[in-house]
A and B are shown apart, each in its own frame.
Chain A
Amino acid sequence: MNIIITLFWTFLKIGLFSIGGGYAIIPLIREQVVNHLGWISSKMFTDIITISQMTPGPLAVNTSTFVGLQVAGIAGAVTATVGCVLCGVLISLFLYRFFQKHGDSRYVFEVLKGLKSASLGLIISAAATIIMLAFWGTETLKAEQIFSLLNRTALLIFCIVLFVLRKWKLNPILIMTASGAAGLLFYL
């Protein structure tokens, strides 16, 4: 029982202090789970990140699920995941209701409008990282590598998918299945 409480508390903290999503959360989890509590080894943690990226779902949820599984089985996985998302969901709801309730205040209205723009900028930043990884397999690309490292197959799949999306607005799930199948066809 003790370990479950520790797991919950640890991931509640991790969830609360990870703003900005995605990769920002990794150092925080490593610090707590590997260095501070010693639940899993450094090598195992690297493997966990790899698996979290390879399976669907948000990185934070995947990582906490996996760590929870390793530490205390299914109960541990559920506890860690719930702990990790709890604060975020509650704070989101609070903020959303706040914006809804005070939408007629000029300050609140302007702040929400600004946040929409800024968060779009951040989404573009995430998209850029995804593109770098998809086309060149690295996030740190040098100018002279632009052509040598370029994955032409990925570029081709990207262009076809984008064209199809703009033209027919297909279902994202269909797109994901089709591009996965394309990967199987081209890369195997």
Chain B
Amino acid sequence: MKQRAKLYLWLFAVNLFISAFTFGGGYLVVPMVRRYFVWKKQYFSEDELMSMAAVSQSSPGAIAINLSALAGYHVAGFTGVLISCIAAILPPLFILSIVSAFYEMFITNAIVAAVLKGMEAGVAALMIDLVVDMCAMIMKEQSIFLSAMIPLAFLGNFVLHINAVYILIACCLFCIGKTLWNRKKEDA
């Protein structure tokens, strides 16, 4: 019982922290979850984290919240989902309630702008650090198909501006097609 309460408290605190420091879009949640759930507590593997990230991205809504919910689910079931989501929503709610009262002042403030400009470079480095490790993990599978999917999805989204939904749907169809093809070959 005490163990359970401790786990819930940890989950709440960690999500509160993560959410309060997720500047520059929700993607920063991925390295944060990696740090606390995978490295520190070893609740799940890095591969499992990639599955969660893939599912969060394939679902509608905010990727950060979806990922927090899945991590919470993995650790403490549906109670974990509820705790994680509440903790993830609280910081924005609190901060924006204060900021909205004097937001013109906030937007034009030089100190705020300087801190944020510095953080931008930090977020960029954190993302690259994560992406390098994750690419290495996929390369380890030694599948040309899976490795090629990374640059293809990147180019489709970043250069051709294809909506993420279509890229993910195309990927699913490709995988199903490929499995069908392999099966046929094995049967023959």
On A, residues with C-beta under 8 Å from B are 15-22, 24, 47, 50-51, 53-62, 65-66, 69-70, 74, 77-78, 81-82, 84-89, 91-93, 95-96, 99, 106-107, 110-131, 133-135, 153-155, 157-159, 161-162, 165-166, 169, 171-173, 175-188
Contacts and interface: CB of A to CB of B under 8 A. Distances in A.
Per DSSP, are chain B's interface residues mostly helix, strand or loop, or mixed?
A: helix
Interface string B74-92: 0000000100010011011
B123 A85 contact: no
B99 A89 contact: no
A181 B168 CA distance: 38
B124 A21 contact: no
Nearest to B183: A106
Nearest to B158: A125
B157 A61 contact: no
B11 interface: no
B96 A69 contact: yes
18 contacts: A15-B60, A20-B57, A20-B164, A57-B91, A59-B62, A62-B96, A88-B62, A93-B81, A95-B55, A117-B150, A119-B53, A122-B167, A125-B153, A131-B124, A165-B129, A166-B129, A182-B118, A183-B118
B52 A172 contact: no
A127 to B, nearest CB: 4
A116 B62 contact: no
A56 B125 contact: no
B154 to A, nearest CB: 4
Contacts of A122: 57, 153-154, 157, 164, 167-168
B5 interface: no
Interface string B41-53: 0000000001111
Nearest to B132: A166
Per DSSP, are chain A's interface residues mostly helix, strand or loop, or mixed?
A: helix
Closest 6 CB pairs of A and B: A183-B118, A88-B61, A121-B153, A179-B122, A20-B164, A57-B92
B165 A180 contact: no
B117 A187 contact: yes
Given A89-B65, A92-B70, A186 B59 contact: no
B147 A117 contact: yes
Contacts of A99: 51, 55
Given A55-B95, A124-B131, 7 more contacts: A65-B93, A118-B150, A121-B149, A127-B27, A130-B25, A155-B121, A183-B115
Nearest to A163: B125
Contact of A89 (B31, B85, B147): B85
B92 to A, nearest CB: 3
A51 B103 contact: yes
B86 to A, nearest CB: 10
B134 interface: yes
B7 interface: no
Given A130-B123, A173-B17, A89 B178 contact: no
Nearest to A181: B118
B118 A69 contact: no
A121 B54 CA distance: 10
B50 A116 contact: yes
A177 B122 CA distance: 9
A164 to B, nearest CB: 8
Interface string B124-161: 11111111101100100100011101111110111000
